[in-house]
């Protein structure tokens, strides 16, 4: 039999199955294997909303999408070239997102009468048999039977345990299909099941069986290869958003010399930061799982007051609960980093789905005039830099800082050319020094040229002073109800935050000319989709540029001037229009919004269509 090998530039593959089928693990293994070959990639895990939705049902479907390419990758891909569907529900949920002519690899055991019924197919209808998939190349594999067969000698394992290895069969087959080796996964299995010999051996056996199935079955004649991507030279690793964020916090702690304290309450999709940081006690990290969101931020305020780098992590509903304490931190003018991994809202909303839901909340959601700097991460690896920068701003400007990320970035992965610790910008911090001569009273709200007050921590002789949530007299910090003082303090706190603009970089255009027909302004996780859409349109000759905001409050000083150079402005957001309101307010610009509020990312394709529509209107 002749085997051909075809080289592809770009593949989007989606693994989908029941939440118990191990699709996240399968996806991660394939991602890891791909990354180590130097192929560029982006991933998008798509979890079911319920932890244990009934097996085989539509709400129970868990997906993992991976886009890999020999070119630079900016998004996990709009539409899949290949779908792996472990059961009927997984096919049904994902059918809309497969390319016409794409491949569907199905586990036929997941299409028996029971599974079809659970997936709400009408009685007697089986999509594998009724011709409805004629536009696709369907590869049917009896994964369950083949797995059991491969394990027939593993008599000490029950059927349940054997069947659990099904995903390894699929993974093995995909490895064969893309001409990979099994070594990364075998190494992973060894580490995971090191002491459970028969589980380890059975998984390896099934993995190999899947690979050999591709190799020996004559039906499969083509293998595909994706070459290494031409990325900037350097050493890379794969990183997920929340992990990068946790590393950024640790790095800031190390480089500033401030011990890191995290006060947090578990909440999806932020909990992984708490999990990650709790592993790194070797860096002196203190993680405190508080009794609620309010205690989480309050304990961080206490830690910051004591001279630690206080951080709290949460998502939308938790943000709402922390509101009053954020106001206290603004009044106290102490450093604090508040991380909000946004999700669909309002209320409990869509916990596992992404949304740029909380910009308004971050900007305005507190009582009184309560300005706080806001910074947003654009990609999984960007979370590292943004977390580092949030800490820098917090400690150098004596202010709480809000960091916005979202579920899409938090769980997504990409290659990361990680920095060397020596190359990270130092974060200089000075506590107020002890005063032996107690004649001169310490002035806790005396400000420097940045309008920043001293960080005077308990235990420092001569600096005893009182702070609190009541309005302060400037300089002395004494309680003051004086009308003029209140106006002065409100203005001063605002000016202090505005002044941060002098200490952040100017806004750069991500791509495109400095003047033109259309400027697309984005923030956060829409980065990849906007970038790839704009690049493609530029190649087609459209006059369109892209600016992506990391600093959302204050804006970089030149943003207004950039905006003026374009005839039109488009602001795509995964919400009902939040940044756009702020831009309109601050720059009186007649910006247009493109808003998708479906709990899923904006795609490149839809953006291209929208941008063309806008440009053709004129």
Partner 1 sequence: MSATAAPVNLTAKDFATDQEVRWCPGCGDYSILAQVQKVMPTLGIPKENFAIISGIGCSSRFPYYMNTFGMHSIHGRATAIASGLKAARPDLSVWIVSGDGDSMSIGGNHTIHLLRRNFDVNFLVFNNQIYGLTKGQYSPTSEEHKITKSTPYGSIDHPFNPLALAMGADGTFIARSMDRDPKHLQETLTRAAKHKGTSFVEIYQNCNIFNDGTFEIFTEKATKLDEGLYLEQDKPLIFGANKNKGIRLNGLQPEVVELGNDFSADDLWIHDEHDFYKAQILVRMFDDPHKTGTHFPRPFGVFYETSRPCYEDEMALQIEEVITSKGKGDLDKLLRGREVWEIA
Q: Rounded to an integer, what distance in angstroms lies between the CA atom of residue 191 and that of residue 521?
A: 45
Residues 6 or more apart whose Cβ sits within 8 Å of residue 397: 335, 373, 450, 452, 496, 497, 499, 500, 503
- Using CA atoms, how far apart are residues 491 and 483, in angstroms rounded to an integer? 13
Determine the interface stretch with partner 1 among 118-126, 197-205, 229-237, 548-556 (rule: CB under 8 A): 229-237
CB of 455 to partner 1, least distance (A): 13
Considering only 300, 532, 568, 603, the residue that binds partner 1 (CB under 8 A) is 300
Q: Among residues 344 and 380, whose Cβ is nearest to partner 1?
A: 380
Asked if 237 touches partner 1 (CB under 8 A), the answer is yes
In terms of CB distance, is 163 or 474 closer to partner 1?
474
For the record, the structure tokens of 428 come out as 């200089």
Residue closer to partner 1 (CB basis): 37 or 55: 37
Contact with partner 1 (CB under 8 A) among 256, 298, 399, 603: 298
Q: Could you tell me how far CA 508 lies from the centroid of its own chain?
A: 22
Nearer to partner 1, 284 or 560 (CB): 284
Using DSSP's 3-state secondary structure scheme, residue 289 falls into strand
DSSP assignments along 65-124, one per residue: EEEEESS---SS-SSEEEEEESSHHHHHHHGGGEEEEEEEEEEGGGGSHHHHHHTTPPTT
Q: Which of residues 134-193 bind partner 1 (CB under 8 A)?
A: 184
Closest to partner 1 by CB, 471 vs 606, is 471
Closest to partner 1 by CB, 327 or 373: 327
> By rule CB under 8 A, what string of x and - marks binding of each residue 405-444 to partner 1?
-------------xxxx------------x----------
Question: Site for partner 1 (CB under 8 A): which residue of 204, 295, 376, 390?
Answer: 295
Q: Is the torsion defined by CA of 110, 111, 113, 119 positive or negative?
A: positive
For residue 535, give Cα distances in angstroms to 31, 218, 572, 608, 611.
25, 42, 16, 10, 12
127 versus 477: smaller Cβ distance to partner 1? 477
Near partner 1 by CB under 8 A: residue from 173, 236, 265, 542: 236
Smallest gap from Cβ 336 to partner 1, in A, equals: 11
Judged by CB under 8 A, which of 54, 158, 194, 234 binds partner 1? Answer: 234
User: At what angle are helices 183-193 and 197-216 packed, to 10 degrees?
Assistant: 160
Q: Specify the residue for token string 């390894």.
A: 168
Of 478 and 543, the one with the shorter C-beta distance to partner 1 is 478
Q: Which two tokens stand for residue 617?
A: 């209107």
Say how far apart CA 88 and CA 18 lie, in whole Å.
10
Q: According to CB under 8 A, which residues from 244 to 273 bind partner 1? A: 247, 250-251, 254, 259, 261, 263
Cα–Cα distance for residue pair 439/266, rounded to 1 Å: 48
Q: Which stretch binds partner 1 (CB under 8 A): 8-16, 60-68, 165-173, 224-232?
A: 224-232
542 CB neighbour count, 10 Å cutoff: 18
Residue of the chain from 302, 349, 516, 560 that contacts partner 1 (CB under 8 A): 302
- Polymer length in residues for the chain: 618
d(CA 336, CA 339): 10
Q: Compute how many other C-beta atoms are within 10 angstroms of the C-beta atom of residue 7.
A: 10
Kindly tell me which residue out of 2, 124, 282, 449 binds partner 1, with binding defined by CB under 8 A.
282
> Which residues are 289's β-sheet partners?
264
Q: Does 283 bind partner 1 (CB under 8 A)?
A: yes
Q: What are 93's strand-pairing partners?
A: none
Please compute Rg for the chain using Cα positions: 27
Site string for partner 1, 89-128 (x = CB under 8 A): ----------------------------------------
Window of 274-282, 398-406, 512-520, 558-566 that interacts with partner 1 by CB under 8 A: 274-282
Site for partner 1 in 316-345 (CB under 8 A): 324-325, 327-328, 332
Element (H, E) at 139: strand 137-141
Q: Cβ 283 to partner 1, closest distance in Å?
A: 4
Which of 178, 213 has the CB closer to partner 1? 178
Residues in binding contact with partner 1, number by CB under 8 A = 75
501 binds partner 1 (CB under 8 A): no
How far from the centroid of its chain's Cα atoms is residue 574's Cα? 14
Residue 32 within binding range of partner 1, rule CB under 8 A: yes
482 counts as binding partner 1 under rule CB under 8 A: no
* Inter-residue contact 574 to 356 (CB < 8 Å): yes
Contacting partner 1 within 45-64 (CB under 8 A): none
Our CB check for partner 1 shows the closer of 151 and 383 to be: 383
Pick out residues in 379-398 that bind partner 1 (CB under 8 A): none
- Report the nearest approach of partner 1 to the CB of residue 442 (Å): 11
In the region spanning residues 444 to 473, those forming contacts with partner 1, defined by CB under 8 A, are: 457-470
């Amino acid at each position: 039999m002749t085997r051909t090998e075809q080289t592809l530039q770009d593949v989007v593959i989606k693994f989908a199955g029941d939440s118990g089928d191990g699709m996240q693990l399968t996806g991660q293994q394939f991602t890891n294997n791909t990354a180590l070959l130097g192929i560029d990639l982006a991933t998008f895990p798509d979890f079911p909303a319920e932890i244990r939705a009934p097996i085989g049902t539509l709400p129970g479907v868990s997906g993992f999408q991976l886009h890999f390419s020999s070119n630079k990758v900016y998004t996990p891909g709009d539409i899949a070239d290949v779908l792996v569907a472990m059961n009927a529900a997984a096919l049904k949920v994902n059918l809309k997102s497969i390319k016409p002519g794409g491949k569907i690899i199905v586990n036929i055991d997941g299409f028996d009468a029971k599974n079809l019924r659970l997936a709400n197919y009408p009685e007697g209808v089986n999509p594998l048999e009724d011709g409805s998939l004629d536009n696709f190349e369907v590869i049917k594999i009896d994964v369950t039977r083949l797995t059991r067969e491969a394990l027939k000698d593993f008599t000490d394992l029950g059927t349940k345990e054997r069947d659990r290895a099904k995903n390894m069969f699929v993974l093995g087959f995909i490895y064969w299909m893309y001409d990979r080796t099994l070594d990364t996964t075998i190494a992973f299995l060894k580490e995971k099941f090191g002491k459970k010999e028969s589980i380890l051996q059975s998984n390896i056996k099934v993995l190999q069986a899947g690979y050999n199935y591709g190799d020996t079955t004559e039906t499969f004649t083509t293998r595909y290869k994706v070459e290494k991507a031409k990325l900037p030279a350097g050493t890379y690793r794969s990183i997920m958003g929340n992990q990068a964020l946790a590393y950024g916090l640790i790095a800031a702690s190390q480089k500033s010399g401030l011990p890191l304290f995290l006060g947090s309450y578990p909440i999806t999709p932020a909990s992984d930061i708490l999990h990650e940081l709790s592993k790194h006690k070797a860096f002196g990290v203190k993680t405190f799982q508080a009794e609620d969101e309010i205690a989480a931020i309050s304990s961080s305020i206490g830690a910051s007051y004591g001279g630690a780098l206080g951080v709290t992590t949460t998502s939308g509903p938790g943000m709402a609960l922390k509101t009053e304490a954020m106001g206290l931190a603004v009044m106290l003018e102490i450093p604090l980093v508040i991380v909000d991994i946004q999700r669909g809202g309002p209320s409990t909303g869509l916990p596992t789905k992404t949304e740029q839901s909380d910009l308004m909340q971050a900007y305005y959601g507190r009582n009184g005039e309560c300005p706080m700097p806001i910074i947003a991460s654009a990609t999984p690896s960007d979370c590292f830099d943004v977390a580092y920068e949030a800490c820098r701003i917090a400690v150098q400007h004596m202010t709480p800082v809000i960091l916005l990320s979202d579920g899409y970035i938090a769980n997504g992965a990409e290659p990361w050319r990680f920095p060397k610790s020596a190359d990270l910008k130092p974060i200089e911090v000075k506590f107020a020094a002890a005063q032996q001569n107690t004649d001169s009273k310490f002035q806790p709200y005396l400000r420097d040229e940045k309008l920043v007050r001293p960080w005077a921590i308990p235990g420092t002789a001569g600096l005893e002073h009182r702070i609190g949530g009541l309005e302060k007299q400037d300089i002395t910090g004494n309680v003051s109800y004086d009308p003029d003082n209140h106006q002065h303090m409100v203005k001063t706190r605002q000016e202090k935050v505005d002044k941060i603009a002098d200490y952040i970089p100017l806004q750069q255009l991500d791509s495109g000319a400095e003047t033109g027909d259309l400027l697309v302004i984005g923030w956060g996780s829409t980065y990849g989709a906007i970038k790839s859409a704009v690049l493609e349109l530029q190649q087609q000759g459209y006059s369109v540029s892209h600016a992506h905001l990391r600093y959302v409050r204050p804006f970089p000083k030149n943003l207004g001037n950039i905006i003026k150079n374009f005839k039109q402005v488009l602001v795509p957001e995964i919400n009902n229009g939040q940044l756009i309101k702020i831009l309109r307010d601050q720059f009186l610009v007649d910006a247009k919004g493109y808003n998708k509020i479906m709990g899923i990312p904006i795609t490149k394709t839809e953006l291209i269509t929208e941008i063309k529509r806008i440009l053709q209107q004129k």
